[in-house]
Amino acid sequence: MRSLKVVFAGTPEFAAEILSMIIEAKYEVVLVMTQPDRPGGRGLKLQQSPVKQTALYHQIPVLQPHSLKLDSKYSEEAFYAKQVLETSTFDVMVVAAYGLILPKWLLDLGARASPLGCINIHASLLPRWRGAAPIQRAILAGDQQTGTCIMRMAEGLDMGPIILQEALTISAQDTAGVLHGKLALQGGKLLQEVLNGLSCGQVFKLQEQANEGVIYAQKILKEEAKIDWQKDAVEIDRLIRAFSPSPGAYTYLNQALLKIGLSENILREVSSNDQGLAGQIIQINEDGILVAGQRGVLRILEVQRPGAKKISAALFAKTVHLEVGQCFSSEP
């Protein structure tokens, strides 16, 4: 078994966890590519991506081009990245939620370095949920399972052949944050299996993606996180879980913004005679706040006011003297 030299490209926490696993497995990461620092937080100060923070901690060189297209307005950055990669010695390029399209010149460079080309880790069972937000979209759609694919990258969005894949059950309590952690662990395990195989000269049999069942996981927009109480409780519960912890599902109470952190769909605890109007509070107890949807009832478990920490719904109800009959609304 030979030691592999790896170039890694990724940006969010999911990718940072994969990068950490590669480092812990004693592969030599010679270069990390991640998106440029972006303004964030209350002061809109420039924030380093989780992948950049991980790379700097381990003293790994970092590239942050705005684009890798040689004919874009950032062509100077792209040409510099191309020069660095062409003069770097590496055995494989691994990509996880990078956020930039890899152009043909980079795919060709990866193919020259490795028989598997540029390897991508994608958090869905392709071809379902190609694109930017597969974890959130799977929860929103009510999927009962998802999984991880290790694929050879090709031109086009998540369209390459599958090297390895594994399914994972989505539980009724999984938030996007919880599912993200499970998929990162699964992806790291599958990636290590592929890298170990490459180290030993293993020949992998690639499987082309099916032409049927292609669905795109569009990027999440903040306005999607607004709760529509006219929907069924089961749909509202999925929305809250899909947008936890970020950007956070939100509603309004007495014209004030309120984020809902955790919830659960209630099936048998409330009779149809007790159910109120959509958005109306029908019960408050130590377990949370029960709210009516168009059909069904939702128990709110955790809330957050702007600028404050998340607290239990029961504590919030006591703090603001919440009463049965009050209504949450979709507009202030």
| Residue 21 CA from chain centroid, whole number | 17
Kindly tell me if the per-residue pLDDT of 272 is higher than 90.
Answer: no
Kindly tell me if the per-residue pLDDT of 42 is higher than 90.
Answer: no
pTM, 2 dp: 0.93
| Domain boundaries 222-329, CATH class | alpha beta
At residue 139, the pLDDT reads 98
Confidence of residue 307 (pLDDT cuts 50, 70, 90): confident
Confidence of residue 5 (pLDDT cuts 50, 70, 90): very high
Dist CA 150 CA 126 (whole Å): 10
DSSP classification of residue 103: P
Kindly tell me if the per-residue pLDDT of 271 is higher than 60.
Answer: no
Nearest CA among 329, 293, 290 for reference residue 313 = 290
Alpha helices per DSSP H over the chain: 13-24, 50-57, 75-86, 104-113, 134-140, 176-199, 233-242, 313-319
Could you tell me the fold of the domain covering 5-217?
Rossmann fold (3.40.50)
279-304 mean pLDDT: 94
Structural Rg of the chain based on CA atoms: 23
What are 153-205's pLDDT values in tens digits? 999 899 999 999 999 999 999 999 999 999 999 999 999 999 999 999 999 99
CA 165, 53, 197, 83 torsion: positive or negative? Answer: positive
At residue 267, the pLDDT reads 63
307-329 mean pLDDT: 95
What are 204-252's pLDDT values in tens digits? 999 999 999 999 999 999 999 999 999 999 999 999 999 999 999 999 9
68-79 mean pLDDT: 96
Domain ranges of the chain: 5-217, 222-329
Kindly tell me if the per-residue pLDDT of 268 is higher than 60.
Answer: no
By DSSP bridging, strand 5-10 and strand 45-47 are unpaired
DSSP classification of residue 232: -
In this structure, are residues 131 and 120 in contact, taking their beta carbons and an 8 Å threshold?
no
Residue 242, CA atoms < 13 Å, CB-side half-sphere: 26
Confidence of residue 148 (pLDDT cuts 50, 70, 90): very high
Dist CA 204 CA 165 (whole Å): 13
Q: Establish whether the linkage from the previous residue to 103 is cis, with ω within 30° of 0.
A: no
SS3 257: strand
Confidence of residue 41 (pLDDT cuts 50, 70, 90): confident
Tell me how far apart the 2 most distant CA atoms of the chain are, in Å.
Answer: 72
In this structure, are residues 312 and 286 in contact, taking their beta carbons and an 8 Å threshold?
no
Residue 22, CA atoms < 13 Å, CB-side half-sphere: 35
